[in-house]
Homo-oligomer: A and B are copies of this chain.
Amino acid sequence: MGGDYGPKVTVPSALKALLLYPKLELLLVGNPTKIHLLLKKTNSILRKRITVIAAESVIANDAKPSSAIRTSRGTSMRISLELLKEGQAQACISAGNTGVLIGLANIILKHINGIRRPALMVTLPNKKQGKTLLLDVGANISCDSASLVQFAIMGSVISEHLMKIPYPRVALLNIGVEENKGLSPIQHASAFLRNTPVVNYIGYLEPNELLTGKTDVLVVDGFVGNVTLKTMEGIIRVFASCIKPSRDNKKQSFLTQLSMQWIQRYLVHQFDQLHPDQYNGACLIGLHGVVIKSHGAANQHAFTSAIEKAIQTVEHQISQRIAARLDEVLPKE
């Protein structure tokens, strides 16, 4: 129900995902009238893999987390998370209010043993045709060094199992590469990670190296991570808008128009993997259960990407693998 477009985007995306993944089954939680209306023309075979679950209300996109969480009973978001907790679903995907989703997930789902606070993680493309995991991108406004270390371990496990990288490189985002640079939680986390054998820690990475593929996992506190991600998205959208034809296009000659179209097609192809839609779906990690946050403004293509992310995370048993790794690392009682 959430996001800027609600079921108009999420329902068609769900149908698309069912076509792409023949074993997938989906529970659509929300206003049944609105959902059924959008399912009317669906063929009966696909329809059998959908269960509509009624929810009385929806959390507003601009609701303040503290009060929205207090009054969340019966909302589509809360019901989805409860289905996850009860094992009736393996993952929960939402384009709704990020703060409320994180807050509710924190309350409803169990934390993995050894994780104090979950982190929000995105998968970014990089110039070396690989993927860089960036976390935290906004679950925690500020992070102490212990949280940063936990994020590094979680990111490392995910890169290993999802990206199939045997010994993933892990870096801390900082404004310089010298050990004495930056804020003290980063410096402390760095000192700790240097002596943590389960993490292949490579030191600090500066933000201008974000897409260069010099690291597989990049760890940062939630405020700075969110700024980094949003800065990147803003710049890419400016580039994308520069590529669009100008309004005066009709005044231009046919040949110029044709060349412009050709350029656009070339660029769209060239920059396609950098477009935020391609990596939509931030993963809330550190909890028992898979929770994926889609961008609120996601279109059908982007929301389908978020569903795909959920499928991969479930199939690779990411939560279980994080729990197992932490079990190895944590001191035994």
Contact = CB atoms under 8 A, between A and B. Distances in A.
Contacts of A242: 270-271
B227 A183 contact: no
Given A178-B62, A183-B141, A270-B242, A208 B223 contact: no
Interface in A156-179: 173, 175, 178
A195 to B, nearest CB: 23
A182 B140 CA distance: 10
B238 A175 contact: no
Given A175-B230, A243-B270, 17 more contacts: A127-B238, A141-B183, A183-B223, A206-B230, A207-B226, A207-B230, A207-B231, A208-B230, A208-B233, A208-B234, A209-B234, A211-B235, A211-B238, A228-B228, A228-B231, A231-B231, A235-B235
Judged by DSSP, the binding face of A is helix
Contact of A238 (B178, B206, B241, B274): B274
A232 to B, nearest CB: 5
Interface stretch (A107-115, A259-267, A280-288, A299-307): A259-267
Given A142-B183, A178-B62, A241-B127, A207 B236 contact: no
Contacts of A173: 227
A233 B212 CA distance: 12
Contacts of A271: 239, 242
B227 A175 contact: yes
Interface in A135-151: 138, 141-142
A36 interface: no
A237 interface: yes
Interface residues of A, number: 45
Interface in A173-219: 173, 175, 178, 180, 182-183, 206-212
B259 A231 contact: no
A64 interface: yes
A175 B226 contact: yes
Contact of A231 (B210, B243, B274): B210
A54 interface: no
A224 interface: yes
